[in-house]
Amino acid sequence: MEINAMKCPNCAGDISYSPGQRVAKCPYCDSILDIKADPADIALKQAIESQKDTEAARAGYLEKVRKWKLKKRIFLAAEFLLTFIAYLLTEIPQKDSGLYELGMVIVLAVFIAVVAGPIWLNSVIPPAPNVIEEQIRLKKGPIQTIKSVALTFLVMLLGLVVGIMVYSKDKDNAETDENSTSDFDTGISISDERED
């Protein structure tokens, strides 16, 4: 435990006291003395308090940022999945099932979401308290929204590409099953050509 010391103004005896103690009794002359708070102690206490406030503000902000990033990931995942589903619904032939129309509604929603999603995400970016350093602040503004639109568009294209890949693979498999005998014939004819 830290001990401070002072001289008794009455008898010049040594008086020791703990930090934060406001009254001390001289052990030699029994004088009761008021201890003035040390300005350095006050400054230190204030610095510690403000450090705690800063840490609490930062922790609160980082938690909000984490939640915001989660919303963004969920949005992008939904954009990807819906594009994929919409592609399959509109491409795979169905007989009056209404799935094509559902697919087209999803296509419309996906197109709206390419712009509306980033605008919404930009509007719910958590405000950063003043104590938050520039490098950990989420940037907010039209440029961020445009970047976000570009990213969402790429995710949509990815959903489309994956849809095309899955669908064409299915179609190939189906064709291979149907024409397995003719494939065999073609194979032979190709090898005959190579021999010539």
Q: Which of residues 31-60 bind Zn ion (CB under 5 A)?
A: 31
Stretch in the footprint of Zn ion (CB under 5 A) among 28-36, 60-68, 118-126, 143-151: 28-36
Angle at 176 between CA 175 and CA 182, to 5 degrees: 100
Q: What DSSP character marks residue 134?
A: G
Residue 24 contacts Zn ion per CB under 5 A: no
Residue 11 contacts Zn ion per CB under 5 A: yes
| Nearest distance in Å: CB 15, Zn ion | 7
The three state secondary structure string of 160-183 is HHHHHHHHHHHHHHHHHHHCHHHH
Number of residues that bind Zn ion (CB under 5 A): 8
Stretch in the footprint of Zn ion (CB under 5 A) among 11-19, 73-81, 112-120, 142-150: 11-19
- Measure Cα distances from 127 to 24, 53, 100, 137 in Å: 48, 17, 43, 9
Candidates 14, 16, 21, 28; binder of Zn ion (CB under 5 A) is 28
Assigned token pair, 17: 């006291």
Amino acid at 125: I
Candidates 14, 22, 29, 136; binder of Zn ion (CB under 5 A) is 29
Residue 26 contacts Zn ion per CB under 5 A: yes
Residue 155 contacts Zn ion per CB under 5 A: no
Cβ atoms of 88 and 169 closer than 8 Å: no
Q: Where does this chain bind Zn ion (CB under 5 A)? A: 8, 10-11, 13, 26, 28-29, 31
